[in-house]
Amino acid sequence: MTVGNLRDAQVTVDLAAIYSNIHHAKQRLDDGDDLFQVVKADGYGHGAVQVAEIAEKAGATGFCVAILDEALQLRQAGIKLPVLVLGITDPECAQLAASENISLTVGSIDWLNQAAKLLDTSAFKGRLNIHLALDTGMGRIGFQTPDELKAAVGVLNAHSDRMCFEGIFTHFATADSPDDTYFKFQYQNFQDFMAVLDKRPKYVHVANSATSLWHKVCGGNMIRFGIAAYGLNPSGRDITQLPYQLKPGLSVTSEIDFSKLVKKGRSIGYGATYTTDSDQWIGTVPVGYADGIPRAMQGFSVLVDGHKCPIVGRVCMDQFMIRLPHDYPYGTTVTIIGQSGDAQITADDVADYLHTISYEVICGLSPRLRRKYV
């Protein structure tokens, strides 16, 4: 997608805030524990490579991504630290991953057997680093019973010249919930899995952002630090008490590119869903749902000069309209997420209005919005 470099509309990424969030998380770890920064989905919309570079400076010792292409992007950018792909990768890519020193997640014995066969016949003679995923209750990927895990370790041992049992992990479904009943259930399942191992691998990891913030448990030696690095509470508004201040990592701003006085009784936007009940100043903002400003944000208020200005009429693909308290000149800043005067809009505010979570809001910001790093 073409980046809108010649349009005043941007995601401004605060690298100092991201550094602070990761640094605080790193300080809370036990000596020798690792922090792998999660930079999947282009660093949750912040820029994977830029986040990886600042995360390494803040003390991250590795990275997690969702798909192999994201791992290769880091390698091509010169990132040398360990990289783990959290999703399932086609075994046909085993040699490629091994050649780039990229670790892969595995959740089935069939995958191990296929990859072993391909590696045995490949010209590349290195080893592939494997992390075994355990399904303790997330219901997504991973081995479901301790017996399956034991059998998988047996396959790895049988092919230890081509595959290295580097790590083991699970993922908690409710670590961000005030009710820890299901969390404890999953933790016990994890303990049952671990009991069948004769020797632990290099990395044992169960903690995501929420677990690292609110659960000092699990006997792991690595955390996968995700949403909290970007300054957002993984619990949304369910758990507000935090061990340290999270600093938001981005803001979203644009401008008023057209302003006009609209007479009473005139309609605004597609479907004529908003009609002025008085003479009103209406401003047009040059971003829309193609930029990640959802159509459902009609009625939500953005900020202009510290004033809340509601979005009137439907959000268009490339523009939306707002009701202004008075006329503003061309180029006046419009804050969609961030601070304006004494007022602030957070990603959680947007998420609440859209009945979703902050993750979806920031990951939905389109590449057409240029990224500005400060």
Annotated binding site for substrate: 140, 317
Helix (H, G, I), strand (E, B) or coil at 146: helix
d(CA 356, CA 46) in angstroms, rounded, equals 19
- Residue pair 323/274 in contact (Cβ under 8 Å)? The answer is no
244 is catalytic: no
Contact predicate 44/69, CB 8 Å: no
* DSSP string computed for 202-235: SEEEEE-HHHHHH---S--SEEEE-GGGGT--TT
Measured CA to CA, the distance from residue 343 to residue 215 in angstroms comes to: 33
| Concatenated DSSP letters of 63-94 | EEESSHHHHHHHHHTT--S-EEEEEE--GGGH
Tell me the one-letter amino acid at 49: V
For the question of residue 289 being annotated catalytic, the response is no
Closest CA to 138 of 86, 95, 93, 91: 86
Token pair of 198 as six digits: 């004769």
User: Could you say which of 57, 184, 264, 270 is catalytic?
Assistant: 270
Residue among 96, 97, 359 nearest 83 (CA): 97
Cα–Cα distance measured from residue 306 to residue 304, given in angstroms and rounded to the nearest whole number: 5
Distance CA 362, CA 73 (A): 20
Enumerate the active-site residues: 40, 270
